[in-house]
Structure 1
């Protein structure tokens, strides 16, 4: 395969980032990688990626930097730190943060990048580990139209539903809409399946009946199926979902609006994390219902 001329650097090789970086490699892009745990990049390096020992070294070597890290504090460090991406990137480079992060921080990075002659896009994604593995992520983009158009071939390697939502921060605001919708939906998915179990129904046949009707959703079909088989491995971590809900609630407060459903979901997930499930997938909320049902004073 003839190699693409656009050199891409990928920071953050986690559950989703590993698949995303691999797709870029297979598409012919020269890919450099950095992650705080070098062993997570072994498969990519064996496939042809170049390991960089620091974020600064990576940023100096590529035309496009993509970040997929954990928390807004991580985003701030890798971009705005003394040896961060903004200080190290090549003139004219494009910076794409695909972390679910703060809209306010996305706007700050955009302004800093613009002042240094760099393009910046906030482009969080939805679709989880499966969407990343199958290159069919939904990508929500904020930033200038010209930068978005220039990066569209990169996005098309990673996803199928790619929409520029507006200026800087718009991608992150849209991702918050996504997380708000998922939060209360996950309560419904877990409640429905738990109810089915207690009613003595076969949850598999219940799922077959309800997933194609008005109750249907991605979470019901995909995460509901995992719940039924007892698979609580992370497609998306509980701890990261709690982080996202916190960002959404903070944004809502800044806008002067109240989101009672999201507040409830955040409360339940906080309790789930306190049960030791922060490293589990979001579908582990089912365990909260099971724990409540077996608590002293409850009837089963």
Structure 2
């Protein structure tokens, strides 16, 4: 059965498995990544994603264009740069941005896309590399309801919980709330791990028991075991959560989130310890560094 051709721009920790899940559901996917000699790009190619060397080649025949890159400048470059999407995308194609870049940026991007006869949705995701690999992401969508409905079959290949939040920008707004919760919760997990050790309780036991009660969460079940084994490999990097928390601060009229500020400080400590590309669970290093001092 024919399925719409799709372009996927950005084949990193999240984008590569997301593109591969599209292929698993019989979509024809052309993928582009700024750096081609990466293992995740090779992995995507080995699993059916056609790797191309220009954005133009990826998007020229695509009915849907997916973007998954890091920050506002990165999105704007792949969208509006000299070789950007806006210059080569088909009229009436739908561009779906899975990046987290904040409500203001996506509103500006949407205005320019609409002026070119293109459709746009912001669709930031949550669930980390595990969710991307398993196709179980939570996807928070902002955009026209008709665009959302047309895109839903595609989104269902990548996510389990897909929510239309409202107009363009609302997906980003909900995602920033998610990042505040995730950041502060990581602080709580690290403190519980440290308390368990102080009380001579096996951290693995604490995780097993507390995961079944009122304190249970995805992060406790999936990230706390990594902390216990000192596994700081990134599912979501420190540098990316710091970028998201910067976007949170930029969205505030006043500095009114003290717990978020503290979590930001803890992540910055890990960054200063050389952990910018480690996973967010590496926050525990800030606690360990404090104890050592």
Instruction: Tell me if both proteins adopt one fold, taking TM over 0.5 as the criterion.
Output: yes
CA drift of 1:49 comes to: 2.2
CA contact (8 A) 1:32 1:49 kept: yes
Q: Work out which of the residue numbers 18, 26, 33 in structure 1 matches 2:16.
A: 18
What is the 5 A alignment of 1:81-230?
A: 81-230=81-230
Residues in 2 aligned to 1:47 and 1:19: alpha-carbon distance in whole angstroms: 9
Greater shift, 78-87 or 156-165, is seen at 78-87
| 2:30 corresponds to which of 29, 32, 35 | 32
- 8 Å CA contact retained: 2:23, 2:29: yes
- Render the CA deviation track for 1:88-139: whole Å, top value 9, x for unaligned: 1111111000011121111111111111111100000000011111100000
Whole-Å separation in 2 of the counterparts to 1:190 and 1:292: 13
Aligned to 1:6: 4
Distance 1:148 1:257 in 2: 34
CA positional deviation for 1:281: 0.4
Task: Return the offset for 1:48.
Answer: 2.8
SS of the equivalent of 2:37 reads helix
Q: What residue is the counterpart of 1:271 in the other structure? A: 269
CA contact (8 A) 2:193 2:203 kept: yes
Q: Please state how far the C-alpha of 1:5 moved relative to its aligned partner.
A: 2.5
Q: 1:213 to 1:48 in 2, by over 3 A?
A: closer
Q: Count the aligned residue pairs.
A: 291
Q: Contact between 1:138 and 1:159, CA under 8 Å: does it hold in 2?
A: yes
For the residues of structure 1 that align with 2:76 and 2:174, how far apart are their CA atoms?
20
Please give the TM-score of this superposition, normalised by the length of structure 2.
0.96
Aligned partners of 2:243, 2:43: CA distance in 1, in Å? 28
Q: d(CA) in 2 for partners of 1:139 and 1:114?
A: 22
Partner of 2:273, secondary structure, is helix
Alignment-derived partner of residue 291 in structure 1: 289
For 2:231 and 2:184, the matched residues in 1 are separated by 21
Normalised TM-score (structure 1): 0.94
Consecutive unaligned residues of structure 2, counting only runs of 5 or more, are none
Q: Distance in 2 between matches of 1:66 and 1:203?
A: 40
Q: 1:46 deviation in Å?
A: 2.8
Q: Secondary structure at the match of 2:188?
A: helix
What do the CA deviations read for 1:241-271 (whole angstroms, capped 9, x no partner)? 1000000111123xx4611111111111111
Q: Is the 8 A contact 1:252 1:259 kept in 2?
A: no
Partner of 1:261: 259
Would the aligned equivalents of 2:102 and 2:176 in 1 still touch at CA under 8 Å?
Answer: no
Secondary structure at the aligned position of 1:160 is classed as: strand
Instruction: State the shift of 1:205 in Å.
Output: 1.1
1:226-245 Cα offsets, whole Å, 9 max, x none, are 11122111010000010000
CA positional deviation for 1:72: 1.1
Contact 1:34 1:52 in 2 (8 A): yes
Give yes or no for contact 1:249–1:262 (8 Å, CA) kept in 2.
Answer: no
